[in-house]
Structure 1
Amino acid sequence: MRFRADIQNNNVFTKLTASLASLGPVAWVKLSNEDVRFTVIPDNGSSVWAKDQIFETYTIQSAAENNTINLEVPLQNLHRALKSAQNASHASIRLTKKNNIPLLSLTITTAIFAGAPKPVAHSAPPDQHGYDPGYPTDDEFGNPFLTDELDEPVYDRPNRETIITQDIPIKVLSPAVVAGLSEPRAREPDVHIQLPPLLQLKSISDRFTKLAVSSMKTPNGSTGFRGNTARAPKLELSANMHGCLRLRLKTDAMDISSKWTGLNNPELDPQTIEGGEEGIAQHPSTRMRTRGDPEGISDEGWAVVRLDGKDWGKVLGIGRVGGRVIACFCDEHALILYVYLTNEDAAGPESVITYYISSYSQ
């Protein structure tokens, strides 16, 4: 079993692991010939499936079917190791073993300046007798001799490289262990819409959640829902096919909402929809587009999901990574977020993180 790869974008990889770590302590990492998949399935809350093109010069060798390797990786340890490589000129990762313990070994190469500029001596030109003194002299007016050209400083020692290796203990999972894990499937979405900047959405969502917690506090100061997700504050998120998104908090004490308009409802690709153009014509989102209005005033044509406020806030932490986010609403059933990460290679495939969030009943 072998695996080795150069890290293509350490900055994105670091932000990705930070976002995943907020949802759970460990990730199932599936390595294959095609891609790398990170999966976090916590006991409670949202599950996340990340298909990322973060590696280059990829080498994998396994006796398992389809040449795959399944690992259980502690996310906090991986994140800390990647943070130490922020200023690295090169970083690579490989699967190894020490004292019979499987490890992910992160090798960081950092260029360190090891010399100081050495003064450049300028010699005076030969005098009228053809004699070259070989050192700076004064000109005929008594001024120090200067050259007309600006020379680059000369370094007396070249730069050197420092190599640091950090080992992250992991578990190698057998195919039988992960056989029952699969990405959740949902019906075709009723509404798909590009979300506003996630950090903006997170700020408002966190504010609503804090208001809900405050309104639910008992006289002794407790909230009364510790460990009971059924009574935790819920946020209602809804959208339509006319570019409108609404975030609402409704409790016994308050009913407040924020609404965005003018958002983009991406066009469906006939090549990805069963039945092509005919399939698009019969798609739930196409039928939903005929309902409601661009201002979102009408109650018609909205798809609604109800989310745990604290869990939703963790999901929105992916906003630190950047990139566009498409939200797919399956009315009263689930919300699926597709986070498309910025790729340095414009011609290369986009990295995608998929969040699956189940909706609570009303």
Structure 2
Amino acid sequence: MRFRAKISDAGCLAHFSRAVATVAKLAKACALRLTAERLVFVAGARGAAGGARLWCEVRQGNVFDEFQMEGAAAEKNEIYLEVTPENLSRALKTAQNAKAVKIKLTNKHCPCLTVAVELPSLSSTSRVVTHDIPVGIIPRKLWNDFSEPSVPDFDVSIYLPALKTMKSVVERMKNLSNSIVIEANLNGEMNLKIETDLVCVTTHFKDLGNPPWGSQKSSQERDLETMAEARIDIKRLLQLLAGQQVNPTKALCNIASKRIVHFILLHEDVSLQYFIPALV
């Protein structure tokens, strides 16, 4: 079982660091799934994280200059590791001005992801800062626990408003309630609602647009004005909005009424999916 990768481009390094930092904000522990084409951070696969699930995928082709891996099982060339994403994020933060960063699976008293940061130097000799991050090896019999979550049949798919705006709204609302209702329709309208015995507050967003792949089937079965809604934990939503650093070029959510809200953030070679189950 071997893994070795290298990033030399400053932009790619910053992009990867932001993706890891986002994962670290959303999960204290996760699985890191390594394949020949991608790295995937998986959290909440076995009911952790308060029911929320995370799937963050980094396609390695345009990010890493070198990427070599050899899995433990010949029939399935993959490696599954238990990692603390905050430790990896901290190591990458020391690499902001690095000439190159190498990441390698090593065994130093225990399995580790060794991050070697090559820093610029005034002399001809490079300075290298090394971080050894302990990891756990996930056995083959548990790999199915970390497969990609299936997306439920949703009632509405809608593009999100500017995430900074949405974050600002939710931050104000969290002082009023522990839960928030997200509702949207196939006419590009979305509402964020707080409903308590004392107060009802609603923020309306219009003309957001609906992804065509999400609305083709549903639009034939549903009235465009009909709202799909789900009540979710407001802290989970704010955790996503406050923690994301990938600066997505596309952000959308799928709502399965009274069941789940599925968020998707896309930016170049990184995609992040976050599933928040509806509260009863």
1:95 is matched with 105
Q: In the alignment, is the contact (CA less than 8 A) between 1:39 and 1:50 conserved in 2?
A: yes
Structure 1 SS opposite 2:241: helix
Instruction: Give the direction of change, closer, same or farther, for the CA distance of 1:265–1:43 in structure 2 (3 Å limit).
Output: closer
AA aligned to 1:251 is T
Contact persistence 1:16–1:318 (CA under 8 A): no
Distance verdict in 2 for CA 1:285–1:17, change over 3 Å: farther
Q: Per-residue deviation at 1:15?
A: 2.2
Q: Is contact 1:198–1:319 with CA below 8 Å preserved after alignment? A: no
Secondary structure of the equivalent of 2:187? coil
SS state at 2:137 partner: strand
What's the TM-score, normalizing by structure 1? 0.70
Q: Whole-Å Cα distance in 1 between the matches of residues 137 and 244 of structure 2? A: 31
C-alpha deviation, 1:25, in angstroms: 1.4
Partner of 1:328: 254
Matches of residues 130-209 of structure 1 in structure 2 within 5 Å? 161-209=126-174
Percent sequence identity over aligned pairs: 28
1:30 matched residue in structure 2:
33
- The reply on whether 1:68 has 2:71 as its aligned counterpart is no
Contact 2:42–2:146 under 8 Å retained in 1: no
Partner deviation per Cα, 1:262-302 (whole Å, 9 max, x = no partner): 11212229xxxxxxxxxx75x124433x432xxxxxxxx11
Aligned to 2:195: 250
Deviation of 1:356 (Å): 1.0
Q: Which of residues 76, 80, 86 in structure 1 aligns to 2:96?
A: 86
Letter in 2 for 1:50: C
Is the 1:29–1:38 Cα contact (8 Å) retained in structure 2? yes
Q: What is the DSSP-based 3-state SS (H/G/I as helix, E as strand, rest coil) of the residue aligned with 1:321?
A: coil
SS of 2:165's equivalent in the other structure is helix
**Residue among 283, 291, 302 paired with 2:224:** 291
Aligned-residue offset at 1:358: 0.8
Q: Report the counterpart of residue 228 of structure 1 in structure 2.
A: none
2:117 alignment partner in structure 1: 108
Supply the AA of the counterpart residue of 1:359. A
Which residue identity is paired with 2:167? K
Structure 1 residue corresponding to 2:208, chosen from 243, 248, 263: 263
What per-residue deviation string (whole Å, max 9, x for no partner) do you get for residues 11-40 of structure 1?
222222222223321110111122111001
Q: In the alignment, what sits opposite 2:276? A: 357
Letter in 2 for 1:46: A
Aligned partners of 2:181 and 2:230 also within 8 Å: yes
| Cα 1:187–1:62 shift into 2, 3 Å | closer
- 1:186 Cα shift? 3.6
Instruction: Report what 2:264 is aligned to.
Output: 338
Given that residues 189 and 285 in structure 1 are in contact (C-alpha distance below 8 angstroms), is that contact kept between their aligned partners in structure 2? no
Helix, strand or coil at the partner of 1:211: coil
Partners of 1:164 and 1:309 in 2: CA distance: 40
Post-superposition Cα deviations, 1:174-199, rounded to whole Å, max 9, x if no partner, equal 11123333333243221111111222
Of 49, 55, 74, the residue aligned with 1:49 is 55
Per mean C-alpha deviation after superposition, the further-off stretch among 52-61 and 253-262 is: 52-61
Cα offset, 1:318, TM superposition: 4.3
Q: Distance in 1 between matches of 2:170 and 2:200?
A: 14
Amino acid paired to 1:339: L
Deviates more, 1:246-255 or 1:83-92: 83-92
State the alpha-carbon separation in 1 of the partners of residues 230 and 205 from structure 2.
16
Query: 1:242 is matched by which residue type in structure 2?
Result: N
**In the alignment, residue 113 of structure 2 is paired with which amino acid?**
L
Flag structure 2 segments of 5+ consecutive residues without an equivalent. none
Instruction: Report Cα offsets for 1:79-125 as digits up to 9, x if no partner.
Output: 110111111121121111113x11101111122345xxxxxxxxxxx
Change (3 A) 1:285 1:33: farther
For structure 1, which runs of at least 5 residues remain unmatched after alignment? 115-158, 213-232, 270-279, 293-300, 344-349
Q: Which has the higher contact order (CA 8 A, sep 6+)?
A: 2
In 2, are the aligned partners of 1:6 and 1:91 still within 8 Å (CA)? yes
Residue 308 in 1 paired to residue 273 in 2? Answer: no
In 1, distance between residues paired with 2:150 and 2:219?
17
> Larger Cα Rg: Structure 1 or Structure 2?
1
Secondary structure of the corresponding residue to residue 179 of structure 1: helix
